[in-house]
Amino acid sequence: MQPVFRFAPSPNGELHLGHAYAALRDFALCRKAGGRFLLRIEDIDRNRSRPEFEAAIIEDLAWLGVTWETPVRRQSEHMAAYGAALDRLRAANLVYPAFMTRGEIARATAKPEWPRDPEGVPHYPPVDRRLKPEEADERIAAGIPNALRIDTAGAMEFAGALSWREMGEGPAGEHGVITARPEMWGDFIVSRKDVATSYHLAVVTDDAAQGVTHVVRGHDLFHATAAQVLLQRLLGLPTPIYHHHRLITDATGRKLSKSNRDTSLRALRKAGATPEDIRAMVGLGSSGKGRR
Ligand code: GLU
């Protein structure tokens, strides 16, 4: 079977050197494996996604020399697929409506010993998980906004042992067969209050729908893999091979952000940089080979 790779940017800003590194690494690994390369626009966040950013991303990637198959998959066009995945989780009784507001969560978890996820966000309090279904239905009928969260402990019992193959490395040098520990995320969101899916749910649904065999991305998403492997198992989807890579950082060692104009590919291009200059700036040789 021919390998399938994908690059999956969110159209909420301009691409910067970090994205250039990620896209070029991904594309080079795909070429080396003789794979197909796909582009996916992750635009479920309606407030932050803009068509002009999508157009700019496509232009910048093409300028860098990356090529992909068409049509491009746009997540906002596949809400029905995410809905079907949610129905499956609901039918297995592995999700519950979560009603707490940000403020309520902050107050309930303001204790130094409260568990936090890898991004430092406090785990969701177990209050709504214990709510009687009739009570939850009443609140929904009353129009109280709710997200859907996964009952992680219940889901893990259902799923059994979980692992993935890591060909790159995690932030602490993790490599090889990695044991997935989704409990590190607590009861994570599978459907947001404002949009009927979540990053994790949309990514696993799309990776499977597109036949993705290799996920190449920055090691800031290494721990997200545990949640995604859990969802894959619950939904009966295959787990791809993962290749997490280093991040491009600024002079102070911080991850680049989309608001950092100095490293935007458009700005660098306007200032006369060539695609070869960009490769050199992110430490990739002309062949696209580089460190993990
Ligand atoms: N859309 C995500 C981002 O731009 C990447 C998702 C992924 O590669 O799994 O950070």
d(CA 33, CA 214): 10
pLDDT of 254: 80
Give the residue, out of 5, 10, 39, with the most ligand 1 atoms within 8 A of its beta carbon, to mutate for a pocket test.
Answer: 10
CA atoms in the 13 A half-sphere facing the CB of 209: 18
The tally of domains found in the chain comes to: 2
Q: How far does residue 8's CA lie from ligand 1's centre (Å)?
A: 5
Nearest CA to ligand 1 atom 3: 9
pLDDT at res. 251: 75
pLDDT of residue 35: 98
pLDDT of residue 261: 64
Instruction: Work out the number of other CB atoms within 10 angstroms of the CB of residue 100.
Output: 17
Return the exposure string of 193-204: e unless at least 16 CB atoms fall within 10 Å of the residue's CB, then b.
Answer: eebbbbbbbbbb
Task: Ligand 1 pocket test: pick from 61, 217, 228, 245 the residue with the most ligand atoms within 8 Å of its Cβ.
Answer: 217
Low-confidence ranges of the chain (pLDDT < 70): 258-262, 286-292
The two tokens of residue 279 are 């490769």
Residue range of the domain that includes 146? 79-210+220-240
Same domain, residue pair 90 and 234: yes
Give the tokens for residue 137.
């239905």
C-alpha span between 255 and 163 (Å, rounded): 27
Any domain includes 133: yes
* 97 Cα–ligand 1 center, Å: 25
Claim to verify: residue 45 and residue 142 sit in the same structural domain: no
Sheet holding 176-179, edge to edge: 73-74, 36-41, 4-7, 214-218, 241-245, 163-166, 176-179
pLDDT at 259: 64
Q: Based on the domain organization, do 90 and 184 belong to the same domain?
A: yes
Residues 152 and 232 grouped into a single domain: yes
State the CATH number of the domain containing residue 229: 3.40.50.620
Q: Using the Cα atoms of residue 261, residue 266, residue 270 and residue 276 in order, give the sign of their dihedral.
A: positive
**Same-domain status, 98 and 229:** yes
Give the whole-angstrom CA distance, residue 88 versus residue 143.
24
Contact between 54 and 41 under an 8 Å Cβ cutoff? The reply is yes
CB neighbour list of residue 77: distance below 8 Å, 6 or more residues apart:
none
Cα three-residue angle 260-261-264, rounded to 5 degrees: 100
- Let me know if residue 265 belongs to a domain: yes
Q: Are 166 and 174 in contact (CB under 8 A)?
A: yes
Do residues 98 and 131 share a domain? yes
What pLDDT is attached to residue 249? 84
Return the pLDDT at 291. Answer: 47
As beta bridge partners, residue 241 has: 214
pLDDT at residue 116 in the model:
98
Q: Return the C-alpha torsion angle 147, 152, 154, 155, nearest 10.
A: 90
Distances (CA, A) of 275 to 18, 138, 288, 289: 14, 57, 11, 15
Residue 277 pLDDT: 95
